[in-house]
Amino acid sequence: MKQYRTHCLVCTGTGCVSNHAFDIKTALESEIIKQGLKDEVTVIATGCNGFCERGPVMVVQPENIFYQELKEKDIPFLVEEHFLKGRPVEKMMYVPPKEEAVIPKMSDIEFFKHQLLVVLRNRGRIDPEKIDEYIGYDGYRALGKALTEMKPEQIIEEVKTAGLRGRGGAGFPTGIKWGFCEQAEEDTKYLICNADEGDPGAFMDRSILEADPHAVLEGMVIGAKAIGAQEGFIYVRDEYPLALRRINIAIEQATEYGLLGENILGSGFNFKLNVVRGGGAFVCGEETALIASIEGEVGRPKPRPPYPAQKGLWGKPTNNNNVETWANVPQIILRGGGWFASLGTKESKGTKVFSLVGKVNNTGLVEVPMGTTLRTIVFDIGGGVLKGKKFKAVQSGGPSGGCVPESLIDLPVDFEKLTEAGAIMGSGGLIVMDEDTCMVDVAKYFVEFLEEESCGKCNPCREGLKRLKEVLTLITQGKGEAKHLEMLDDIALLMKEASLCALGATAPNPVLTTLKYFREEYEEHIFQRRCRAKVCKDLIMYRIIAEKCTGCQRCVKACPTEAITGPRSQPHNLEESKCIKCGACYEVCKFDAIAGDAIYIE
C-alpha cells in the first residue's frame, strides 16, 4: 500500500454528513491536488468520530490534530497552512465551553480522554467501505481463530468467561443464550442481529454499523459457528439509509473475500447473511415481534415460552443479539474472555457505548468501561450542562427506562446500579435534562410515545397507556387533583404485572421514577398550578423584563403573531392577548444567554 505523510480522517457519520461532510471531503481532495500534495496527503472517509456536536470534524494523523466545525470555504487556507507550511490552524480547533485556549490534540480533549474504545476501536480510523482497512487492524483474525482452532463449545465458553451481557436492553448473559440455542436439536438454525434501535435519542447501533460494519459481520459468523446456524438476518431500521448502505457493501466485500458464504476460509463452514429493512415500529425491537416482522407479518410480540432459542424464526431455533453485542465478540475471541472480564464491574463486564444527548455541551457517542460514574460521563466527557444551566436528571434506557436525579450523579453506571435506581441500562441512550426540563412533561412524553407504539394486542398496555396519558395531560393542563397521583401509581402497578411483553411491563418506568424523584414537581402542577421549568403552556405566561431588555428587536422580528412591539433601543412591549406562547422570543433573546433572561416566564 502507498505510504502517505499525512492522513486526513474526515468523519462521515450521519451527524457530520448532515452538516455537509461530503462537501468538505471533496473540497479537501481537490485542494490537495491543486496544491500538489496528492502524493503526500490522503483523505479517508471514516465512520462516526463521536463528537457529533462539533461536526463536521476531521482528525489529522499522525499529529492527532482535531479540527471541528469545518466550513468548505476555509479548506484552501487549511490545506495551505497545515499541509504545505506545516502550521496547524488554531481557528478551526476545539475550544472547551467557557474557556479560551484551543486544544489541538484529540487525545487531550476531555470528550475523548475518558473514553475506552473496544467496540468503537475503529471509529474515525478506517474507511468502513473498505474491507482491507478493517483487515489491516486485525480484522477477521478472530474469525480465523474461531474457525480453525476452536470448537463450538470453546467459543461459547470464552464468551461466558468474558461475562458479556446483551447490549440490547435486558443484559442477558450472551454465552448462556448461545448455549441454549446450540443445544437445541434441529438442523436448521438462524441468527439475528437486532439493529432496529427504536429508542428515541439513541444512535449507538447506527454509528457502529456506519463506522465498523465488519466487526458486526465477524461477530455474527463466529456466533454462527458456535451455535451451528447456517443463515442470519440483520434487521435494520428503514430510517438508517447510510447504515444500510454500508452493511450491504460490507457483506458484498466479505463474501468476495471468502469470509462469508460457502466454505468460509476453507473450513467447510457455510453462513449466509441477509439484510431486512424495518418498517418503523418501536415494538419490532422486541425479539418475538422482530421475528414476526422478518417473516413478513405484523410485528406483534408473542408470549414466551417457547423462547426463540427453541422456536424462533419459521419455528426454528434462533439466536438474536443486539448490534453492539455482536461487535464485542471478535475482540473477546482475539484477546480472550479473561481480558474482557478485567474491564468493568463485578456483574457488568467490558465497556458500554452511550449516546450522550439532550441539554449537554458535548453531545455525541461515548464508550466507557462499565462502572464509570454518571458524573464523569455528563460533566467530564459531556462538558456539563448547556448554557451553564442547572443539571436536573439523566434519562437512561429509553421509554422503558427512568430518570436518575442529581442526588445519584455519582452512581457507577452498570446493569445492576441503574436498575436499583429505578432506571435501566437499556440500549444506552443517555438524555441529559436541565432546569428547563419539566419532569411531568417528560413522563407524559414517554407515555405518549408508547401509546402510539403499543401494538394493541394486550389490554393492560393498550388501555393503561391511554389512561396514564389522560391523567398526565390533565396535570400538565393545570387540571390535576390530589387523587391523580394515586391513580398513576395504581395503573402503573397493574401494567407492570399484567402486560404481555416488556413494552407494557416497563412502560410505567418513566412515570414511576419521576414520581419517586420529582414528586414535588407533580405536586406543584397539581396544587399550585405551577410549572417551574416553564414548559407546560397552560401554566405559563411570557413577559418582558424591562430592566434587562436592550431593545434589540430580535424578538419583535421573531414573534409570529406580532404580540411584541416597540422601537429600537427601548424596552419592548408584549401584548398578552396576542401571545400564543410559542417561545420563539425566548429562543432568540441574546440576553437570556448573557444576563439571565430578558424575557422570562412565570
Partner 1 sequence: MEEIKILVIDDERGIREGCRRILESENYQVAVAETGEKGIEVAQTDKFAMALIDLKLPGMDGLAVINELRKIDSEIVPIIITGYGTVETAVEAMKAGAFDFVAKPFTPNEIINVVDKGLIQIKERQEGLELKQEKRERAVDELNSLSIVDEILARYNYNAASLIAILQDIQKQFNYLPQNLLRHVALTMNIPLTRVYSISTFYSAFSLKPRGEHLIDVCLGTACHVRGGMNIMERLERELGIKNGETTYDEKFSLKSVRCVGCCGLAPVVVIDDEFHGKLVQDKVPKILAKY
Ligand X SMILES: Cc1cc2nc3c(=O)[nH]c(=O)nc-3n(C[C@H](O)[C@H](O)[C@H](O)COP(=O)(O)O)c2cc1C
Locate 25 and state its grid cell: 471531503
Closer to ligand X by Cβ: residue 42 or 322? 322
Query: If contact means CB under 5 to 8 A according to the sort of partner, which of ligand X, ligand FES, partner 1, none does residue 524 touch?
Result: none
Interhelix angle 141-149/323-335, rounded to 10 degrees, is 70
Whether residue 508 has a cis bond before it, omega within 30° of 0? no
Task: Report how far residue 587's alpha carbon sits from residue 160's, in angstroms, rounded to the nearest whole number.
Answer: 51
217 binds partner 1, rule: CB under 8 A: no
287 binds ligand X, rule: CB under 6 A: yes
Single out the residue of 133, 197, 212, 286 in contact with partner 1 (rule: CB under 8 A). Answer: 197
- Within residues 183-222, the interface with ligand X by CB under 6 A covers 194, 196-198
513 binds partner 1, rule: CB under 8 A: no
Whether residue 200 has a cis bond before it, omega within 30° of 0? no
Query: If contact means CB under 5 to 8 A according to the sort of partner, which of partner 1, ligand X, ligand FES, none does residue 494 touch?
Result: none
Task: Report how far residue 255's alpha carbon sits from residue 292's, in angstroms, rounded to the nearest whole number.
Answer: 27
* Nearest distance from C-beta of residue 446 to ligand X, angstroms: 12
281 binds partner 1, rule: CB under 8 A: yes
Task: Report how far residue 68's alpha carbon sits from residue 559's, in angstroms, rounded to the nearest whole number.
Answer: 33
What are the CA-CA distances from residue 184 to residues 311, 316, 317, 349 (Å)? 9, 9, 7, 27
∠ at Cα 329 (325, 334), nearest 5°? Answer: 155
Query: If contact means CB under 5 to 8 A according to the sort of partner, which of ligand FES, ligand X, partner 1, none does residue 10 touch?
Result: none
Whether residue 305 has a cis bond before it, omega within 30° of 0? yes
- Within residues 384-413, the interface with partner 1 by CB under 8 A covers 395, 398
Greatest Cα pair distance, the chain, in angstroms, is 82
Q: Which stretch binds ligand X (CB under 6 A): 50-58, 164-172, 348-356, 470-478?
A: 164-172
* Nearest distance from C-beta of residue 198 to ligand FES, angstroms: 11
* Nearest distance from C-beta of residue 442 to ligand FES, angstroms: 13
* Nearest distance from C-beta of residue 544 to ligand X, angstroms: 45
CB contact at 8 A, 123 and 309? no
- Within residues 432-461, the interface with partner 1 by CB under 8 A covers 433, 437, 442, 445-446, 449, 455
Query: If contact means CB under 5 to 8 A according to the sort of partner, which of ligand X, partner 1, ligand FES, none does residue 449 touch?
Result: partner 1
Burial zone of 274 (CB within 10 Å; 0-12 exposed, 13-18 middle, 19+ buried): exposed
The footprint of ligand X on this chain (CB under 6 A) covers a number of residues equal to 22
579 binds partner 1, rule: CB under 8 A: no
* Nearest distance from C-beta of residue 200 to ligand FES, angstroms: 5
Single out the residue of 112, 134, 140, 282 in contact with partner 1 (rule: CB under 8 A). Answer: 282
Q: Which stretch binds partner 1 (CB under 8 A): 138-146, 291-299, 477-485, 543-551?
A: 291-299
Q: Give the x-and-dash track for 233-272 against ligand X (CB under 6 A).
A: ----------------------------------------
Helix (H, G, I), strand (E, B) or coil at 8: strand
298 binds ligand X, rule: CB under 6 A: no
Closer to partner 1 by Cβ: residue 49 or 348? 49
- Within residues 398-427, the interface with ligand X by CB under 6 A covers 427
Cell 476531555 belongs to 110
Task: Report how far residue 491's alpha carbon sits from residue 387's, in angstroms, rounded to the nearest whole number.
Answer: 38
Task: Report how far residue 299's alpha carbon sits from residue 278's, in angstroms, rounded to the nearest whole number.
Answer: 10
* Nearest distance from C-beta of residue 429 to ligand FES, angstroms: 9
68 binds ligand X, rule: CB under 6 A: no
Closer to ligand FES by Cβ: residue 269 or 445? 445
The residues of the shown chain that bind ligand FES, judged by CB under 6 A, are: 200-201
Task: Report how far residue 73's alpha carbon sits from residue 37's, in angstroms, rounded to the nearest whole number.
Answer: 19
Closest CA to 422 of 531, 325, 496: 496
245 binds partner 1, rule: CB under 8 A: no
CB contact at 8 A, 282 and 129? no
Query: In degrees rounded to 5, what are phi and psi of residue 171?
Result: 75, 30
Closer to partner 1 by Cβ: residue 184 or 281? 281
Closest CA to 566 of 582, 585, 580: 585
* Nearest distance from C-beta of residue 348 to ligand X, angstroms: 13
Task: Report how far residue 435's alpha carbon sits from residue 413's, in angstroms, rounded to the nearest whole number.
Answer: 23
What are the CA-CA distances from residue 228 to residues 259, 335, 365 (Å)? 16, 23, 34
Residue 107: count of CB within 10 angstroms of its CB: 9
* Nearest distance from C-beta of residue 394 to partner 1, angstroms: 11
Closer to partner 1 by Cβ: residue 45 or 533? 533
In single-letter form, the type of residue at position 369 comes to P
552 binds partner 1, rule: CB under 8 A: no
Closer to ligand X by Cβ: residue 122 or 322? 322
Closest CA to 380 of 410, 408, 418, 420: 410
Q: Give the x-and-dash track for 502-541 against ligand X (CB under 6 A).
A: xx--------------------------------------
* Nearest distance from C-beta of residue 92 to partner 1, angstroms: 18
Query: If contact means CB under 5 to 8 A according to the sort of partner, which of partner 1, ligand FES, ligand X, none does residue 169 touch?
Result: ligand X
Identify each DSSP E strand in 359-444 by its residue range.
364-369, 391-396, 402-405, 429-434
Identify each DSSP E strand in 298-350 by its residue range.
318-322
Cα-Cα end-to-end distance for the chain: 65
Locate 553 and state its grid cell: 428587536
The footprint of partner 1 on this chain (CB under 8 A) covers a number of residues equal to 59
- Within residues 22-61, the interface with partner 1 by CB under 8 A covers 52-53, 55
CA 286 to chain centre: 17
Binding site for partner 1 (CB under 8 A): 14-15, 17-19, 52-53, 55, 197-203, 206, 238-241, 276-282, 293-299, 355, 357-359, 363-364, 395, 398, 429, 431, 433, 437, 442, 445-446, 449, 455, 557-558, 560, 582-584, 587-588
Binding site for ligand X (CB under 6 A): 166-170, 172, 194, 196-198, 283, 285-287, 320-322, 325, 427, 501-503
